[in-house]
Amino acid sequence: MDSMFDLVPIWAGIIGFGIMMYVLMDGFDLGQGILFPFARNEEDRDIMMNSVAPVWDGNETWLVLGGTGLLAAFPLVYTVFLPALYLGVFVLLAGLIFRGVAFEFRFKARTSKYLWSWSFSVGSILATFAQGAVVGSYIQGFETENFRFVGGAFDWLTPFTVLTGLGMLAGYALLGSTWLILKTEGELQSWAYRITPTLLAMVIAVFVAISIWTPLMDPMVQSRWFDQFSLIWLLPLGALLSMAVLVRALMKRQEGLPFVATMGIFVFAYLGLAASKLPYIVPPNYTLWDAASAGESQLFLLIGLLFVIPFVLMYTAWTYWVFRGKVKAGMGYH
C-alpha cells in the first residue's frame, strides 16, 4: 500500500537494536540476582548489587520502549506474543517489579534485609526464565488464524522453551560473572573467575542443544543452514571464536576482555537466530511486512524517536562513565 516509502527495514533495525541493548545491559544485572544464592557471603552480595545499582533502571527502560515500540511499529508481534505468553508475561512483570523494588528497599532495610535479598534473587530468576521462554516460543512458532493467536495457555511452556529458559539463566549468569570480574577486586573477583568456566560450559551445552534441536524442529531453518553452504555459518563461527577469546582471557586473568567476549557470544547467537528466522517475525505464518503498522504511523513515531534515541544513548554512556571503575565494599551505603 505504501510503495512510496518502506520503513519496515529501518524499524526492524531499531527494534532489533533495542532488544539487543536490553539483553546485553539488563542481562548482566539480572545475572547478579541469579548468582545471588551462590554468593559467598552477605558482604559480597552488597557489592554485587551495588555494582549494578546505578544503571539497572536505565537498562530496563529499553524493555518498556521495546514494548510500546512494537505496538507502534509491528503491532502483530505485540498482539500475538503477549496473548500467547499470557502467564509468562505475568511471571516476567512480577519478577521485574519485585527485583526493582528490592533494589530500593534492600539498601534502606536493616532487619528485613534478607527478605529483600530473596525478593531480588527470585525476581531476577523468574524474569530471566520468562525471557528465555519468549525466545523459545519465537523459535517454535505460534498457532495463529487470521492474525490472531488461537493456541493454548501453556504453548509457551514446552521442553524446548524450558531449555531456552535455562539457557537464558546460564547466559545472563555468565554476563553477570564476567561483569563482576570487570567491576570488582580481591576475593569476590577471584570467586567470579572461579565460577565463570562452569557457567561457560553450561552456556555451550545449551547453545549446542538448541542448534541441533531447532533445525530438526523447523524445516525452513534446516534448509537455510544445510541446503547449501552459506555465509551465515560465519555467525556461529563468530560465537565459537568469542568463546575461545573468553577462555584465553580467563586463563590470562584479564579483567575487561571476559565481559566483552561474553557480549560477543550473545551478539553472534542473536544474529544467528535472526538469520535462521527472519523475515518471519510471527512464525510460521507472518513476516515483518505482515506484522507492520501503516507506513504513516511508522513515520509519525520515527520522527520523535530519531530525536530521542541519541539523547538516551548519550545519557546511558554518561551514566556508565560516571560510575566507571571498581566497586568497593561500603560504597553507596549509608
Partner 1 sequence: MELDPLLLSRLQFAFVVSFHAIFPVFTIGLASYIAVLEGLAYKTNNPVWSTLSRFWTRVFAVVFGMGVVSGIVMAFQFGTNWSNFSYTSANFLGPILSYEVVTAFFLEASFLGVLLFGRDKVPPGVFLLSAILVATGTFISSFWILSANSWMHTPAGVEMRGDLLYVTSWAEAIFNASLPYRFTHMVLASFLTGGFVVAGVSAWYLLNGRETSANRAALSMTLWLLLLIAPLQAWVGDLHGLNTLEHQPAKISAMEGNWETRSNVPLLLFAWPDQEAQSNRFELGIPGLASWILTHDVNGTVPGLDQVAREDQPPVWLVFWSFRIMVGLGLLMIAAAVTGLILRRNGAVYTRRWYLRSLTVMSLTPFVAVLAGWFTTEVGRGPWLIYGIMRFEEGLTPSLQGWMALTTLIGYIVVYAMIFTAGLYYLMRILRDGMESQPHSEQEEAPAHRAKRPLSAVDVPLEEGAR
> Which spans of this chain sit near partner 1 (rule: CB under 8 A)?
50, 53-55, 57-58, 61, 64-65, 67-69, 71-73, 75-76, 78-84, 86-87, 89-90, 93-94, 96-98, 100-101, 103-105, 107-112, 147-153, 293-294, 296-297, 300-301, 304-305, 308, 311-312, 315, 319, 323, 327, 331-334
* Residue among 140 and 242 whose Cβ is closer to partner 1: 140
* Residue among 229 and 307 whose Cβ is closer to partner 1: 307
DSSP notation for 87-117: HHHHHHHHHHHHHHHHHHHHHH-STTHHHHH
H/E element holding 267? helix 257-277
HEC profile of 116-148: HHHHHHHHHHHHHHHHHHHHHHHHHCCCEECCE
Beta bridge partners of 149: 144
Nearest distance, CB of residue 289 and partner 1, angstroms: 14
Cα-based distances in Å from 259 to 19, 112, 172, 242: 19, 33, 11, 10
Q: Checking DSSP bridges between strand 148-149 and strand 144-145, what pairing results, if any?
A: antiparallel
Rounded Cα distance between 144 and 274, Å, is 21
Alpha-carbon torsion 130, 134, 137, 143, what sign? positive
* Residue among 101 and 241 whose Cβ is closer to partner 1: 101
Nearest distance, CB of residue 18 and partner 1, angstroms: 12
* Residue among 64 and 237 whose Cβ is closer to partner 1: 64
Polymer length of the chain: 334
* Residue among 254 and 297 whose Cβ is closer to partner 1: 297
Beta bridge partners of 280: 287
Nearest distance, CB of residue 316 and partner 1, angstroms: 8
CB count, 10 Å around CB of 71?
14
* Residue among 229 and 321 whose Cβ is closer to partner 1: 321
Nearest distance, CB of residue 149 and partner 1, angstroms: 5
Rounded Cα distance between 236 and 2, Å, is 36
Nearest distance, CB of residue 58 and partner 1, angstroms: 8
Nearest distance, CB of residue 44 and partner 1, angstroms: 17
* Residue among 252 and 334 whose Cβ is closer to partner 1: 334
Nearest distance, CB of residue 201 and partner 1, angstroms: 33
